[in-house]
Amino acid sequence: MHTISFKRTIKLNNTGCLGLIILLIIVILALAAPLFAKYDPHAYTGLIFQRPSAQFWMGTNDVGQDVWSNLLYGGRTSLIVGFGAATLGLLISVLIGCLAAFLGGIFDNVLMRLVDVILAIPPIVLILLIAAYLKPSMFILILLLSFFLWPSGARIVRAQVLLLKSSTHINAARTFGAGLFYLIWRHIIPEMGPILSVLLIQNARKAVFMEAGLSFLGVSDPAIISWGKMMQQALSFSYLDIWKWCLLPAGMALSLTITGLMLISFSLESVLNPRLQGRKDNDYVAGY
């Protein structure tokens, strides 16, 4: 039932289709960056602060690099970090939430108090402190972001598992000797497909935004191109009229990515709330 409703919503909801189209275009451009980029993103073109032209579609930056090429390769960084952190955070959420719900008792209380502690910690402050002692890299950034993404998802997973574990088919599987991880893999996760999809998209939206913010603050590998770093470099030359040609492309790309993920999240949300399925897309979006 959940799977049918999930597919039906994706096909019929115009909001979700628009979000998928936006995200698909960005993913294709990022993955096929070598085909669409006119220059190597790190190459010096010989011309600095050029306005958009036939030669440089979005101009050049302060070190003579093609902004369009940087934009495409920067999208790779945002997508890899965003979906990498979202996936890892979701896996931790499922594991912790399921263990807390099935084991219960002291174990459940300890895990939920751990969730409360992590949620109370300001992410930016802790990440800046850790980055001061660790060499910033894409892998480290994915680990740090996933650490702050899993607690809220673990609460949702735990609540759903508490409802599902008393169902007839799960009780029957336990009676026939099914183990905990078998139940999670074969029964719990398939039943929670729509919920996990929403959590994944929401985590990706948060991770993409946080990655851009951290890169803007300088918490990233200097050798990796990202949208946040492009905006940081552009603002360093705000006293020149040309700075906006370096800032606007990265800002618009980031905004479109987050908008696409948000629209998909809105669409998937209707799977979990039957009251929203009969509403028009415009009314549904306006409600948020």
User: Can you spell out the DSSP letters for 70-123?
Assistant: HHHHHHHHHHHHHHHHHHHHHHHHHHHHHHHHHH-HHHHHHHHHHHHHHHHS-H
Phi and psi torsions of 152, nearest 5°: -65, -40
What CA–CA distance (Å, rounded) separates 141 from 85?
Answer: 8
The CA-based angle 160-144-78, given to 5 degrees, is 95
Contact 58, 71 (CB under 8 A): yes
Kindly state whether residue 3 falls inside one of the protein's structural domains.
no
Beta bridge mates, 111:
none
Beta bridge mates, 66:
60
Kindly state whether residue 6 falls inside one of the protein's structural domains.
no
Angle at which helices 227-235 and 193-216 pack, to 10 degrees? 30
**Going by C-beta distance under 8 Å and a sequence separation of 6 or more, which residues neighbour residue 210?**
123, 145, 148
Kindly state whether residue 277 falls inside one of the protein's structural domains.
yes
Kindly state whether residue 7 falls inside one of the protein's structural domains.
no
Mean pLDDT over 34-46 rounds to: 84
The enclosing domain of 26 has a CATH number of: 1.10.3720.10
- Residues 216-228 have pLDDT tens digits of 888 877 788 889 8
Number of domains in the chain: 1
- Residues 47-103 have pLDDT tens digits of 887 887 888 878 888 778 888 999 999 999 989 999 999 999 999 999 999 888 888
Kindly state whether residue 5 falls inside one of the protein's structural domains.
no
pLDDT at position 257 is 94
Kindly state whether residue 1 falls inside one of the protein's structural domains.
no
Kindly state whether residue 2 falls inside one of the protein's structural domains.
no
Kindly state whether residue 248 falls inside one of the protein's structural domains.
yes
Mean pLDDT over 104-121 rounds to: 88
Domain that holds residue 44: 14-286
